[in-house]
Amino acid sequence: MADVVLDRVEKRFGDVLAVAGIDLTIRDQEFLVLVGPSGCGKTTTLRMIAGLEEVTNGDIRIGGRSVTHLPPRGRDIAMVFQSYALYPHMTVARNMSFSLKLRGTPRAEIDRRVKEVAGILGLTEQLNRKPRQLSGGQRQRVAVGAALCRQAGVLLFDEPLSNLDAKLRVHMRTELKRLHLAIRSTMVYVTHDQVEAMTMGDRIVIMNGGVICQVGTPLEIYDKPASRFVAGFIGSPPMNFFEGEIAADEAGAAVLLGGGLQLPLPRPDLAERAGRKVWLGIRPEHISLTQAGRMTSEVSLHRVFRTAKVPSVIEVVEPLGHRVILTARSAAGPFQMETEIHAGVHGGERVELWFDMNRAYLFDRDTEAAI
Amino acid sequence: MGAKVPILPSAREPERRPKLLEREAPFGYLLVLPAVLYLAVFIAYPFLMSIYMSFTDAQAGNPKWEFIGTQNYSKVESYQVLANDFVLATLPDEAAAKRFAAARDSAKVTTEPAGSRFRAVLEAAGTRVPLLELGSEGDASYLGETVGKELSWKVEKRGGQYAVVAHAAEDAPVTFGPYNDKATLNRERRSDILVPAKTTVKTQGKGVMQDPNFRLAVKNTFKYTFGTEAIKLCLGIPCALILNRKFGGRRLLRGLLVIPWVIPIAISAQAWLWILDSTYSVINWCLVHWGILSPGNIINFRGDKNWAMLSVIAVNVWRGFPFTTIVILAGLTAIPDEILERARLDGANGLQRFAYVISPMVRPILMVSLLFSVIFSFTDFNTIWIITKGGPYDQTQVLSTYAYQLGVNAGYLARGAAISLFMFPIMAVMVFFMLQFLRREA
């Protein structure tokens, strides 16, 4: 069992509170992604798990054993660094076997493991090369291989894909995911890229300002963002936000946006909170050009009823292939939406857009929490 | 007026060269010119000149130089055979050997003709030992007397037997010769001495190779260079490791460190002259003050032959180790933190990190620093000239000072040039191997 438990872990650098007492349980064999903007404390958290940073307060347990005061080598962990951190003077094989050699593993066992890992990662041909003779992707795999050879209970990844070009990054994403399915050790993965987080994580931890904003599966995070920050961080293009106020109308509740725009809400219970200042959040993919829009497959009377008409002007059209990102402006402000390329929309066109209010989110403007 | 002017410019017409002022290359050459001139006048000319000079008989005050080939490098005029430790008799038991040795005072050396030569025979304790065979009766008799009468006899155990050895000290050997050519030398060397003895051949001549001071200078140069470099590394590596850590005042300390390197040696040497002074040395003062030395036997740092070399090495180390430290420090700072962190995660302790990660990564830059430093020490003139001038008794004479001594002070320009050129092949070989090593590492 190599579960990792962070118990009110806190890290201060002088007066700066980098990690503000977080609680987190990483389950055995889980692929957990720590994601957040730079400076959110995700890397510091990872480095504390690794033992590279002292913990100011709190306790870290790996496999039920407190490791807070253990040096890195006593923690049953391996780590892949952003810069790969390969020893430039060692061959690939020696890079991968270095930690085993230091632990006094028998030679035959070392050779066996190096061969096995090199086989998995497709590095058999490169075993006798030096790191500088390898391409970026190969170096990346050597770094992963060195971590795998250890057969540690927990593998830590510190933005391992950020130095690769876009195409290779997508490829390595799949590779790492496949690797996790194959070796089934606990993996903690730090990234600032929400796409990486969504595609790779069994669960995602979203951090901001040294605290955890939300922990959940990619679907939970996407469907039920706990705060405006999470909602805006996950999704591409990002969610649109409009300043507004809850109002009561004849059908139940509505949200009153700038420019006198009033959109109905599918939650009648909100009527009693009329007057509350809120953010209305709606993802670009939940705005469509027609009333039925993209929801035709799951159309229901109720849903159709709860779409809201917003007269807008299309400002910019950005085709990405099949998908097209439109930047539009309504009375309530500018926003982005997504449609498909055959919709035939042009810049400057006046259109009526339909907001799917069932998929709209409300966030309190003071606390930023979801309502 | 009748010249044809093309109405349309032809496409095939070659483009006109741009004007001089519009081209860049001439300015490049212009800017390089001073450097080329400098190299030509101050480096290439003296170098070639001294090569030429080393093949002539140039002397100060002598306007005509004659080409004399390689004689400045090596001209043997005569050979001598030096011999020690003549084994007079080998006996199976110690008592007999001692009896033989005791017979020294009553021993007699007689000379008898042997063919065209003369043989000196030793008679002691009733045994006749043929000692030497030489061309003249006088020589045979004289050297025979020397071996038989003037050397001390000792009994030594050799391979289970006891040998009676007529012992001549290393620096006071029995000499045979001189012989003018090598053939005579070889013949005489084979037949002169009839008992086992330790012999060496000493060559005498005008070439620097035959000059015992030159050989001493070569030995001293290597001692000085490698002694210095070894100590510089031993000091530089720990200093660099310390300065690479984060602590208060680190920047200040780094700044202070380079002071010895930037102070002109002529100035810092004055301080060292005082520190190493024979009478007023501050080191002696401290040692006496702490009761380690008595005022009667203070150390003469520059005058004592055992201390002089250490003293100049100390000064050179003091001057040169900041450079070594800074270079190693640069190498250390170039190691990414992540690699050291990974080494910690891999389970390497401090010593293992140093041995397996830090030192291999610093090694290339260390070699570069060593290369510079070796060249600097090997050709160093200032330090030695200011501190000891090569003394005492040439104990700190190195190639550069000896070349100056002989070439400039004594006026033997040609031999001075030959000595200084001796440094060139040695340096070339060292540089070659170091660069070879660097290339393999890279």
- Banded pLDDT at A231 (limits 50, 70, 90): very high
Question: What residues of chain B lie within 8 A of the CB of A98, using their CB?
Answer: 343, 346, 348, 356
Contact B361 A82 (CB under 8 A): no
Q: Residue holding tokens 């050709």?
A: B379
Contact yes or no for A77 and B344 at CB 8 A:
no
Q: Specify the pLDDT at position A283.
A: 92
Q: Answer whether A89 sits within 8 Å of B361, measured CB to CB.
A: yes
Q: Write out chain B in H/E/C secondary structure.
A: CCCCCCCCCCCCCCCCCCCHHHCCHHHHHHHHHHHHHHHHHHHHHHHHHHHHHCCECCCCCCCCCCECHHHHCCCEEEEEEEEECEEEEEECCHHHHHHHHHCCCCCEEEEEEECCEEEEEEEECCEEEEEEEECCHHHHHHHHHHHHHHCEEEEEEECCEEEEEEECCCCCCEEEEEECCHHHHHHHHHHCECCCCEEEEEEEECCHHHCHHHHHHHHHHHHHHHHHHHHHHHHHHHHHHHHCCCCCCHHHHHHHHCHHHHCCHHHHHHHHHHHCCCCCCHHHHHHHHCCCCCHHHCCCCCCCHHHHHHHHHHHHHHHHHHHHHHHHHHHHHCCCHHHHHHHHHCCCCHHHHHHHHHHHHHHHHHHHHHHHHHHHHHCCCHHHHHHCCCCCCCCCCCHHHHHHHHHHHCCCHHHHHHHHHHHHHHHHHHHHHHHHHHHHHC
Q: What percent of chain B has pLDDT over 90?
A: 4
Average pLDDT over residues B252-281: 82
- Asked if the Cβ–Cβ distance from A103 to B361 is below 8 Å, we say no
pLDDT at A215 over 90: yes
How far is the C-alpha of B185 from the C-alpha of A114, rounded, in Å? 68
The CATH topology of domain B210-441 is MetI-like fold (1.10.3720)
Nearest to A103 among B347, B360, B361 (CB): B347
Residue of B nearest to A85 (CA): B339
Chain B residues with CB under 8 Å of A73 CB are 344-348
Predicted pLDDT at A294: 46
Count of residues in chain B: 442
For testing contact with chain B, the best of A77, A79, A188 (most B CBs within 10 A): A79
Chain B residues in contact with A78 (beta carbon < 8 A): 345
pLDDT given at position B40: 92
Indicate yes or no: CB of B360 within 8 angstroms of CB of A50: no
- For A114-153, what is each residue's pLDDT tens digit? 988 888 888 888 888 888 888 888 888 899 888 888 888 8
Residue with the bigger pLDDT between A197 and B248: it is A197
CB contact under 8 A, A99 and B347: yes
Contact list in B for residue A52 (CB cut-off 8 A) is 341, 344-345
For the cut 60, the answer to whether the pLDDT of residue B7 exceeds it is: no
Closest A-chain CA to B441: A89
The band of A241, judged by pLDDT with boundaries at 50, 70 and 90, is very high
Nearest to A102 among B341, B347, B361 (CB): B347
Q: Which residues pair with A26 in a beta bridge?
A: A4
Please determine, for residue A168, whether its predicted confidence score (pLDDT) is greater than 90.
Answer: no
pLDDT number for residue A304? 47
Q: Which residue of A has its CA nearest to B361?
A: A89
Region(s) of chain B under CATH 1.10.3720.10: 210-441
From B335's Cα to the closest Cα of chain A, the distance in A is: 10
Share of chain B above pLDDT 70, in %: 96
Q: Which has the higher per-residue pLDDT, A137 or B186?
A: A137
Q: Using pLDDT thresholds of 50, 70 and 90, give the confidence band for residue A348.
A: confident
pLDDT at residue B15, rounded to an integer: 66
Mutate to test the interface with A, among B344, B345, B357 (most CBs of A within 10 A): B345
pLDDT tens, residue by residue, B107-158? 777 888 877 788 888 887 777 787 777 777 777 778 777 877 777 788 888 7
- What are the pLDDT digits (tens) for B55-96? 887 777 777 877 777 777 777 777 878 888 878 778 888 887
CA distance B433 to chain A (A): 20
The pLDDT of residue A303 is 46
> Mean pLDDT over residues B227-246, rounded?
87
Is A199 within 8 Å of A178 (Cβ atoms)? no
Task: Quick: pLDDT tens for A38-47.
Answer: 888 889 999 9
Query: Cβ contacts (< 8 Å) between A85 and chain B: which residues?
Result: 336, 338-339, 341-342
Mean residue pLDDT of chain B comes to: 81
Q: What is the pTM of this model?
A: 0.70
What ipTM was reported for this prediction? 0.80
